[in-house]
Amino acid sequence: MSAERKTRIVGRSVAKSDGMELACGAPLFCEDQLPPGCLHARVLRSSYAHARIVSLDVAPAEQLEGVAAVLHHGNVPRVMRTTAGQGAPEPSPYDFTTFDSKLRYVGDRVAAVAAETPELARQALGLIQLEVEQLPAIIDAHKAQAPGAVVIHDEPDARVVIPVTYEPQRNLVAHVDFQVGDVEKGLAAADASFDREYSCHYAQHAPIEPHCALAEPLANGRLRITTSTQVPFHVRRIVAQALQWPVSRIRVIKPRIGGGFGAKQEVLIEDLVAFLAVRSGRPVFLRLSRAEEFNSRTRHPMHIRLRTSVSAKGELKSVDMNVLSNTGAYGCHGLTVVCNCGSKVLPLYRWDDIRFWADVVYTNGPVAGAYRGYGATQAAFAMEVQMDEMARALGIDPVQFRLQNHIRSGETSPVFQALGEGGEGVAQNIGSNGLAKCLRQAAKEFGWRRRPRRQSKAILRRGQGMACLMQGSSIPEVDMGAASIKMNEDGSFNLLVGATDLGTGSDTILAQIAAEVLGVEMAQILVTSSDTDLTPFDVGAYASSTTYLSGEAVRKAAKTVAGQIRKVAANILGLPVRKLSLAEGQVVAADGQSLTLARIGASSLYEKDQNQIGAFASHTTQKSPPPFSAHFAEVEVDTETGLVRVLDYVAAVDCGTAINPALAEGQVEGAVANGLGYALIEEIKLDERGRLRNGSFREYKIPSTLDLPKIRVILVPTYEASGPYGAKSVSEIGINGPLPAIANAIFDAVGVRLRQAPFTPEKILAALKAAEQESS
Amino acid sequence: MSLPQLEYCQARTVEEALELWAKKTKARYLAGGTDLLPQLRAASGTQLTLVDLKQIESLAKIGQAEDGAVSIGAAASVAAVAANATVRKRYPILSDCCLSLGSYPLRNRATVVGNICNASPCADTAAALLALDAIVVATSTKAKRRIPMVDFFQGPGESCLQAGELVEEILLPQATAGGRGHYGRIARRKSVDISTVAVLLSVLPKGQPRHRLSLLSVAPTPLRVFEAEAVLDERGPEGASQAAEIARASCTPISDVRASAEYRRDMVAVLTERGVMTLAQSMGG
């Protein structure tokens, strides 16, 4: 294991490389780049939860002056595939085609129009005549597998492309079941056992920029797609699949994007602009309206039954987690999200016996997909609330209880081997682990158990809660990130990465890593990212992978380039390579001689042994080292109104080395705010016909800064030997904390357990009332 | 955002505004526009004229009117009213209600008169204006009339204004100056959110009744509960729970995506009682 070295630029909060231009309003987003003559697209969407198209007459729309193309199931080839932006072959079922003759949720695609203006496109939609046969709809996930339930995917060509359970005739998208040891025996034999049910709800990512994409036919027969995506290379592959084109005819560019949070790990609209551009021979732009964005992708609602047992001394014994996950009308990310419920939550503690089993079902509700946390959010809620309940039942402090049971460095969990991306996972031993430090430092900073408590009869009652978390860093043996670096004659470098900066700052931290290795300042590293023609491959921004995986690819490429530079310098200076090192924009020899990088660059390009200094590097991993985190929250519950005020929040996180501490803290603060919204106010509600009741910012509220407590973030440094400069991931883990920490704090305040999120005033009052009736 | 076909005119005087409105087939008066513009999205496709009132100098005023009243002009922003020294001194409850509306940028744009004309059951400023016996001064090409606040609202989005009638100002009478109040407001978040339920309880130094109880978001219109006010006048803080029960019984809330009718009713009682207790404490202390 390489020891921690002193670094110059890694570990420093350098300014975000695109910060100034974004703040100044430079035209960097997709919609800023519309070419003259660009057509505008709109989508006709189903207003039925479940229906079969009987007839569709688009002629009046086609005849409208200014309409360039109308697409529908009758004129677009049927190619079954998934919208999930995952590595190929995808673990998500092929249950989707560009347009189908069946409509499976309110919002499903019926037709798409490209016209001279957005208004004309909308007008054209109104001229389309649609006649349907309505079918019974399943809104409640519990009813999806009832005998005689309507089959949502009855098309014969729906299938999976990896060997996993898929039974659409039973509305079953995925089934997972693994067991280590004997859980039933372990539950029965222990001193105490617990059996509770939890549920989590639909929520939307609410990125500031909705999905938007521009497709431009090029003179050479190719198509250029500029899109707000987390996965440009998957967009290229999946659009090629839909068009039945070779990948080589498509170029995908990701400009600056206004947030994704998982919603854009989805090829949601790129196929539409591509088809419309090909049909019309003109550039086509589509931006989803906010109403469409609310119905684009959501978090998977889940019901979780969690059974655990523990010895009187507080040693965890057996765990049995059973999940029912609702993926909505299409199965994108259905299997992998549910696998994450187990794989990112169960290894956190040492268990003798483990069972994890789950069903993922279709319903006619909104389509669930990737959302920050990716299943870990839902399962951590169940686990950490139950941990609190166990600790209290045993009379052990919840912090102590976690310290006693959490996984240690050097240990493994059978879950790593058992649960992967649908199939088996990859065994790993835990490397860096700062969880104990996180717990102690956060507890101290927070003042755990040292705060004044209000009287139990008061109207406003305060309580404290905490939770422990883990996530992963990339998908082992699946994800790949690559980088290339070339040197210019002034000693600057072009760093090309496939990695996707979705506002997270990955362009900045990848440049920091390159600058560190090459011994130059940030200004010398010119980053180009996410262009499938120019940059090397990268799976994209998901699974908390960019820093850990793409960062290591950058480090490797930079190391190779540094070696080449030293070689050129050695030739010029007549010294052995091993006596030379890179620092402060120079190559420095042990004897004090030095050469500037500009001198070396100019020499290599113009003078002697002319040669482009440069290198490619790729990185994959056999590990997915978990970041760890401890969250503490204090709330005040108004027992008359049911309102919960979050007074204080401390989050300590072990993300290995924070390449850029300010950006890492920002990720944690954002994730906590995101999670507080999910815990307290955010919930997509459906009516009985499957329509969104609150699909607008008027009715769907996300927290404002005024609603947030001061979120104190503590970065607990550890060194993950397998990551670049010791780094692990940080972007997702923080969203998993608020649900359980707030639920536990509410219990501490008023003595009621809330197991159905979100914790709305009405639910709190109902729980208080029930508790009162029980005690009287 | 896609809007209907719009014609935009700026009026320089009230007379000109009234004339412009009368001349056009379909016209709306425009002040802050914070309610109007979102509504126009739904009206996509129709031909509409907007008559902007913001350049009419006389309407921007907040200040003394006859009989010691304070006038709030139709173009006075919610933020300006909230910050106005006279309002803060003499009608602090109006200032409080103003500061609960929307957000900073929204309050800079929105007007108090517009908030009333929109006639939403959750109009924050209506709670205070009802309590203060405000007078709405409306003008048409034919006549000028004074409408007591309590008669102004007719239903959700409906006021007693006639077609083409323009609210020039709202008058806050001298008689209700100096009151203090407690504005209990439940919403999902602290800014840019309409109330789920809101209760303003105020006490005036003089006048009949001295207690004023206004409810928002629990009936087709903002509501005064006179019966509860009488109880409080008679019994003082001891009448709190009786007043709360009367308030609960007099509202007719609906269940919607924000809350159930039952929760709203319960909260009317809770917030009413809380208002009485808070005011009693602050007066005692």
Cα(first)–Cα(last) distance of chain A, in Å?
62
Is residue A390 in a domain?
no
Nearest neighbour of B190 by CB, restricted to A118, A706, A762: A706
Q: Are residues A426 and A511 in the same domain?
A: no
| Chain B interface test: which of A646, A676, A701, A708 (most B C-beta within 10 Å) | A701
Last residue of a domain, one of A568, A589, A619: A619
Q: Is residue A245, in this structure, part of any structural domain at all? A: yes
Residues of B in contact with A699 (CB under 8 A): 257-258
Contact A681 B188 (CB under 8 A): yes
Quick check: A454 pLDDT over 60?
Answer: no
* Domain's final residue, options A569, A594, A619: A619
**Cβ contact A522:A512 at 8 Å:** yes
Together in a domain, A607 and A710: no
Sequence-separated (6 or more) residues with CB below 8 Å from residue A678: A203, A299, A377, A735, A738, A739, A757, A758
Chain A CB contacts of B35 under 8 Å are none
Q: Quick one: angle between helices A334-343 and A376-394, nearest 10? A: 30
Of the listed ranges A119-123, A456-460, A487-491, the one predicted with least confidence: A456-460
Strand A353-362 to A172-180 pairing: antiparallel
CA distance A698 to chain B (A): 7
Mean pLDDT of A85-93: 97
Which strands, in side-by-side order, build the sheet including B197-203? Answer: B180-186, B197-203, B211-216, B223-224
Q: Which of A155-169, A232-246, B36-50, B257-271 has the lowest mean pLDDT?
A: B36-50
Would the CB atoms of B263 and A762 count as touching at under 8 Å?
yes
Distance CA(A625)–CA(B121), nearest Å, equals 54
On whether both A750 and A659 belong to a single domain, the answer is yes
Read off the pLDDT of residues A333-365 as tens digits, 9 standing for 90 and up: 999 999 999 999 999 999 999 999 999 999 999
How far A683 CA lies from chain B's nearest CA (Å)?
10
Q: Do A704 and B267 touch (CB under 8 A)?
A: no
Picking from B188, B263, B270, the nearest residue to A701 by CB comes out as: B188
Q: List residues bridging with A356 in a β-sheet.
A: A178, A321
- Contact call for A704 and B192, based on CB within 8 A: yes
Tell me: pLDDT of A105 over 90.
yes
Bridge partner list, A215: A225, A284
Q: Which of B193, B260, B267 lies at the smallest CB-CB distance from A701?
A: B193
Q: What confidence tens digit (pLDDT) does each residue in A133-183 have?
A: 999 999 999 999 999 999 999 999 999 999 999 999 999 999 999 999 999
- Judge whether A194 and A382 are in contact, CB under 8 Å: no
Residue type, A6: K
Would the CB atoms of B257 and A693 count as touching at under 8 Å? yes
Same domain, A656 and A592: no
3-class state of residue A277 by DSSP: helix
Domain check: are A425 and A543 in the same one?
no
Do A745 and A600 share a domain, yes or no? no
Residue B145: phi and psi, rounded to 5, are -135, 160
Residue B207 pLDDT grade (very low, low, confident, very high; cuts 50, 70, 90): confident
The band of A30, judged by pLDDT with boundaries at 50, 70 and 90, is very high
CB pairs under 8 A between A and B: 39
Of residues A456 and B40, more confidence is placed in: B40
Does the pLDDT at position A330 exceed 80?
yes
A202: chain B residues, CB-CB within 8 Å = none
Mean pLDDT, rounded, for A427-453 = 92
* Cα A676 to Cα A679: distance, rounded to the nearest angstrom: 5
Question: Residue A240, Cα to own-chain centre: how many angstroms?
Answer: 24
What the block records as the tokens of A167 is 């039974």
Does residue A252 register a pLDDT over 70? Answer: yes
C-alpha B39/C-alpha B29 separation (Å) is: 13
Shared domain for A23 and A39, answered yes or no, is no
pLDDT band at A4 (very low <50, low <70, confident <90, very high): low
A639 & A726 share domain = yes
- Domain boundary at A587, A619, A651, which? A619
Are A762 and B259 a contacting pair at CB < 8 A? yes
Does the distance separating the beta carbons of A119 and B2 come in below 8 Å? yes
Burial grade of B42 (CB within 10 A; 0-12, 13-18, 19 or more): exposed
Mean pLDDT on B242-269? 98
Tell me what the pLDDT averaged over chain A comes to. 96
Q: Mean pLDDT, to the nearest integer, of A183-192?
A: 96
pLDDT of residue A508: 98
CB atoms within 10 A of CB A690: 24
Identify which of A260, A657, A267, A623 has the alpha carbon closest to the alpha carbon of residue A475.
A623
Q: What's the pLDDT at B1?
A: 52
pLDDT tens, residue by residue, A514-552? 999 999 999 999 999 999 999 999 999 999 999 999 999
Chain B residue closest in CA terms to A683 = B257
CATH of the domain at A108: 3.90.1170.50
User: What's the pLDDT band for B285 if we cut at 50, 70, 90?
Assistant: very low
* Strand arrangement, sheet containing A493-497: A525-529, A493-497, A481-487, A614-619
| Residue B199 C-alpha, separation from nearest chain A C-alpha, in angstroms | 13
Question: What mean pLDDT is predicted for residues A232-259?
Answer: 98
A151 in a domain, yes or no? no
The backbone torsions φ and ψ at residue B104, rounded to the nearest 5 degrees and listed phi first, read -50, -55
Q: Between chains, do A704 and B258 touch, taking CB under 8 Å as contact?
A: no
What number is the average pLDDT over the span A101-119?
Answer: 98
Residues of B within an 8 Å Cβ radius of A? 2, 103, 186, 188-193, 257-260, 263, 266-267, 270-271, 274
Domain check: are A408 and A510 in the same one?
no
CATH of the domain at A534: 3.30.365.10
In chain A, which residues have their Cβ closer than 8 Å to the Cβ of B259?
761-762
Mutate which: A292, A692, A704, vs B, most B CBs within 10 A: A704
- Distance CA(A45)–CA(A553), nearest Å, equals 42
Q: What's the gap in Å between the CA of B144 and the closest CA on chain A?
A: 36
Please tell me the predicted confidence (pLDDT) of residue B282: 85
A533 and A666 inside one domain: no
Nearest in space to A290 (alpha carbons), one of A698, A765, A715, A753: A698
| Domain membership flag for residue A704 | yes
In 3D, which of A209, A367, A204 has the Cα closest to residue A699? A204
Cβ contacts (< 8 Å) between A762 and chain B: which residues? 259-260, 263
Most distant pair of Cα atoms in chain B: their distance:
59
Peptide bond into A452 cis (omega under 30): no
SS3 state at A527: strand
At residue A1 the predicted structure's pLDDT band, cuts being 50, 70 and 90, is very low
* Paired tokens of A555: 């480090």
Q: What letter would DSSP give residue A300?
A: P
Cα–Cα distances (Å) from A293 to A31, A212, A289, in that order, read 16, 10, 6
Point out the residue among B2, B193, B267 whose CB comes nearest to the CB of A641. Answer: B267
Select from A656, A658, A300 the least CA-distant residue to A512. Answer: A658
CA atoms of A274 and A272, how far apart (whole Å): 5
Q: B20: which strand partners?
A: none
Among B114, B103, B102, residue whose Cα is nearest residue B77? B114
DSSP classification of residue B67: G
B210 vs B43, higher pLDDT: B210
How many folded domains does chain A comprise? 3
CB contact at 8 A, A379 and A304: yes
Residue in B with minimal Cα distance to A696: B257
As a whole number of angstroms, the distance between CA A322 and CA A250 comes to 43
**Measured CA distances, A260 to A211, A421, A718 (Å):** 9, 21, 28
* DSSP collapsed to 3 states, A136-193: CCCCCHHHCCCCCCCCCCCCCCCECCCCCCCEHHHCEEEEEEEEECCHHHHHHHCCEE
Query: What pairs with residue A309 in β-bridges?
Result: A193
- Under the banding of pLDDT at 50, 70 and 90, the label for residue B212 is very high
Shortest Cα distance, chain B CAs vs residue A740, angstroms: 20
Average pLDDT over residues B229-258: 97
Q: Domain range spanning residue A607?
A: 19-27+480-619
Task: Flag whether A272 is in a domain.
Answer: yes
Contact check, Cβ <8 Å, B270/A118: no
- A63: pLDDT strictly greater than 90: yes
- Residue A405 near residue A314 (C-beta atoms within 8 A): yes
Residues A544 and B77: their CA atoms lie apart, in Å, by: 47
Determine how many CB atoms are found less than 10 A away from the CB of residue B121: 22
Same domain, A688 and A770: yes
pLDDT at A376 over 80: yes
Question: In this prediction, what percent of chain A has a pLDDT beyond 90?
Answer: 97
What is the nearest CA distance from B96 to chain A, expressed in angstroms?
17
Residues of chain A with pLDDT > 70: what percent?
99
Residue A659 has pLDDT above 50, yes or no: yes
A519 lies in some domain = yes
Amino acid A2: pLDDT: 46
Q: Are A553 and A694 contained in the same domain?
A: no
Confidence class for position B2, pLDDT limits 50, 70, 90: low
pTM for the model stands at 0.96
Look up residue A601 and give its amino acid: G
**Residue A764 domain-assigned (yes or no):** yes
pLDDT tens digits, one per residue of A613-639: 999 999 999 999 999 999 999 999 999
